[in-house]
Amino acid sequence: MRCARALHLSLAAALACSPRAPGSDAGRDSAPADTLPYRIVSPAPGDEWHEGGTYVIRWITTRAGEVNVAAAVGGKDRGHLAMRLPAGTDSLRWTVPEGFVTGSGAERSDAVRIRIESAEDPAVGVTSEPFAVSRRIRG
């Protein structure tokens, strides 16, 4: 796959082309952590989120400008969670939709990723290491 800059880059293409968050998929399209425009703090590897739960996606940036936040499950783009968040924004509260993972028949996925990207140039961004999302725990 050729990784050219484009007006729109799907998350699936970004997963294949972009620098990863530090420590994820080491050695594949990776860049030194101090050269990445964003660093995803949350979710962290090993986290387990549940459908219906509200969580905070948090990142650190050295880049000015608006950002987009997107999600993927198993390498399949699940779309943007937010677009054109104002410069200086460093987090997003997200309620994981019912059926986000279970809608495809799975009880859980350990291959969920978040992508933080520049709204002006979606090819500039980072993708989190995988974390888990599972069916809501009913009490």
In a domain, residue 2? The reply is no
Which domain, by its residues, includes 108?
11-133
In a domain, residue 6? The reply is no
pLDDT (tens, 9 = 90+) of the chain, 139 residues, equals 334 333 344 555 555 544 444 444 332 345 555 668 999 999 999 999 999 999 999 999 988 999 999 999 999 999 999 999 998 999 999 999 999 999 989 999 999 999 999 999 999 999 999 999 999 877 6
* CATH number, domain containing residue 45: 2.60.40.2840
Split into its structural domains, the chain has a count of 1
59 close to 73: Cβ distance less than 8 angstroms? no
